[in-house]
């Protein structure tokens, strides 16, 4: 068993155990492998072990990596005369307006929408490509100045922003995302995850036609606490690929 395979087996068991403790079905939780800074070869190796969801932080890096990986998978499929399921690519890092065009072309889901203006630009670009883009709204529930995301309060302001975004026809709002503060005890992050879940539940009442099924929260150090509070998507990098040479989410 390779180190990568060992890491994935161990991680999937930890996810299953966390879900069981929370009285949840592990199949409700999507694992996004955060491949930032790791080479295409590492992604392809994880794909061969069954991973299908990958997360990148920067459109610039993704513009080099994603086409290369998708092309290699398609070439292999043609060589062996079989169909193939391409990875689902998630943008989980901050998106600059000038990178909207690249992001819409590259990614299947953008988890880091942090303004109405950005959402409108993505919608316009998706419309131009005839694409329906899955999105999550990033919410800065901890209020840290260093983090991106919508402020959850004043609540009326946030709800008004959501109302603007759900009206954009080429965006499919699937839920909320947050990055919890770095804490020594992962359970100390639970109030932040709980706050995101409660906010989502309030939005479901405000927008009954939008079920907002997903809560993207939890990374390598705190995903078990996030699962306990209702995470449906966790973003994990180091526990899969190992330590990075440069810092990054996951």
What is the per-residue pLDDT across 152-199, written as a single tens digit (0 to 9) for each?
999 999 999 999 999 999 999 999 999 999 999 999 999 999 999 999
Instruction: Report d(CA 110, CA 152) in Å as an integer.
Output: 19
In a domain, 207, yes or no: yes
Question: Residue 139 forms beta bridges with which residues?
Answer: 150
In a domain, 171, yes or no: yes
Instruction: Give the domain CATH number at 132.
Output: 3.20.20.10
In a domain, 83, yes or no: yes
Domain interval for residue 28: 3-239
DSSP 8-state symbol, 90? E
Give the count of domains, the chain: 1
In a domain, 233, yes or no: yes
**Is-contact 4 45, C-beta < 8 A?**
yes
Mean pLDDT score of the chain: 96
Tokens representing residue 186 in the block: 């992962």
Question: Residue 203 forms beta bridges with which residues?
Answer: none
In a domain, 248, yes or no: no
What does the pLDDT look like over 17-64, one tens digit per residue? 999 999 999 999 999 999 999 999 999 999 999 999 999 999 999 999
Instruction: Report d(CA 180, CA 21) in Å as an integer.
Output: 21
In a domain, 178, yes or no: yes
pLDDT at residue 248, rounded to an integer: 52
Instruction: Report d(CA 143, CA 106) in Å as an integer.
Output: 30
Tokens representing residue 67 in the block: 């086409």
In a domain, 245, yes or no: no
Question: Residue 30 forms beta bridges with which residues?
Answer: 233
176 phi, psi to nearest 5 deg: -125, 155
In a domain, 247, yes or no: no
Strands (DSSP E) found in the chain: 30-34, 53-56, 88-91, 109-113, 133-138, 171-177, 214-216, 233-236
């Amino acid at each position: 068993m390779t180190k990568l395979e060992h890491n994935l087996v161990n991680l999937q068991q930890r996810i299953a155990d966390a879900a069981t403790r929370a009285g949840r079905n592990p199949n409700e939780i999507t694992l996004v492998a955060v491949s930032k800074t790791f080479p295409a070869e590492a992604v392809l190796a994880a794909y061969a072990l069954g991973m299908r969801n990958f997360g990148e932080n920067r459109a610039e890096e993704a513009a080099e990596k994603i086409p290369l990986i998708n092309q290699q998978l398609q070439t292999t499929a043609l060589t062996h005369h079989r169909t193939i399921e391409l990875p689902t690519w998630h943008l989980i890092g901050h998106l600059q307006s000038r990178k909207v065009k690249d992001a819409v072309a590259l990614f299947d889901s953008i988890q880091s929408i942090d303004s109405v203006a950005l959402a409108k630009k993505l919608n316009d670009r998706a419309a131009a490509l005839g694409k329906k883009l899955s999105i999550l709204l990033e919410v800065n529930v901890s209020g840290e100045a260093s983090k991106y995301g919508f402020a959850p309060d004043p609540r009326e302001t946030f709800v008004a922003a959501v109302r603007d975004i759900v009206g954009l026809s080429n965006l499919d709002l699937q839920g909320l995302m947050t990055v919890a503060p770095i804490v020594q005890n992962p359970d100390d992050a639970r109030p932040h995850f709980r706050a995101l879940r409660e906010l989502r539940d309030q939005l479901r009442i405000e927008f009954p036609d939008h079920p907002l099924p997903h809560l993207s929260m939890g990374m390598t150090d705190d995903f078990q606490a996030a699962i306990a509070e209702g995470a449906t998507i966790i973003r994990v990098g180091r526990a899969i690929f190992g330590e990075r040479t440069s810092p990054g989410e996951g």
